[in-house]
Structure 1
Amino acid sequence: MFPGMRGGFDQRKMDQLMKQMGIDIEELEDVEEVVIKTAEKDLVFKKADVTVMDAKGQKTYQVIGNPEEIKKEITPDEEDVKFVMEQTNCNEEEAIEALKEYEGDIAEAIISLEE
């Protein structure tokens, strides 16, 4: 807890204290979309609330909202496709589809094609 803040939250005092510490906080206006991309999926925040905190030149972004999770489609490696084809005697299209279905897991793709 910060000194002098017993019994309640005083936004003005908090702003003064943050300014003394070299911290500036600003709300980004009219944010339409925030996208976080990972190797496996994208997180898409529509109409997110975004706050930027600048502490002595180091910026931190806070995103508030409910993301839509979009899984990325796997593009199987040529070597993996050939290996699955050799192991199961299937055609290229079947090998690619199995690898996509099992997110690139070669063993699972082979097992599914042998059933």
Structure 2
Amino acid sequence: MFGGGGDSRRMKKMMNQMGVDMEEIEGVEEVVIKTGTKEIVIDDADVNSIEAQGQKTYQVVGESRERSRVDDEDVSLVAEQADVDEDDAREALKTTDRDLAAAIESLE
């Protein structure tokens, strides 16, 4: 993360002396940040855990993409009204940008 071999070791040593502990989290497959209306997904992310003064912080580096977040209650309602399974209802809601009426109509 900090460059070639010796520099990263020296940087880590300096951070430890300042009471900052940094550790790479191995094998991360996906990081998801959820908001009320969307999810930001970072696949194959490089993640570091940094602890300083009793506070833990995560550093995430990678390519991100956004996807619409669909409420489970909306999925159930659309599935019931359109008489389809929940996977089809969820997909219809994503396609219609979470518009319940449009999702139901698209499934009829």
The TM tier, using the shorter chain, reads 0.5 to 0.7
Q: Match for 1:10: what amino acid? A: D
1:15 to 2, 12, 19: 12
| Structure with larger Rg | 1
**Structure 1 residue ranges (4+ consecutive) displaced by more than 3 angstroms after TM superposition:** 9-13, 100-104
SS in 1 for 2:12: helix
Offset of residue 73 of structure 1: 4.0
Q: Match for 1:50: what amino acid? A: V
5+ residue gaps, structure 1, are 1-8, 76-92, 94-99, 105-115
1:61 to 49, 58, 62: 58
Offset of residue 101 of structure 1: 5.4
User: In the aligned structure 1, how far is the partner of 2:97 from the partner of 2:57?
Assistant: 37
CA 1:10–1:71 in 2, change beyond 3 Å: closer, same or farther? same
Using the size of structure 2 for normalisation, the TM-score is 0.56
Q: Give the RMSD, CA atoms, in angstroms.
A: 2.9
* Percent of pairs with identical residues: 47
Offset of residue 44 of structure 1: 1.0
- Equivalent residue number for residue 43 of structure 2: 46
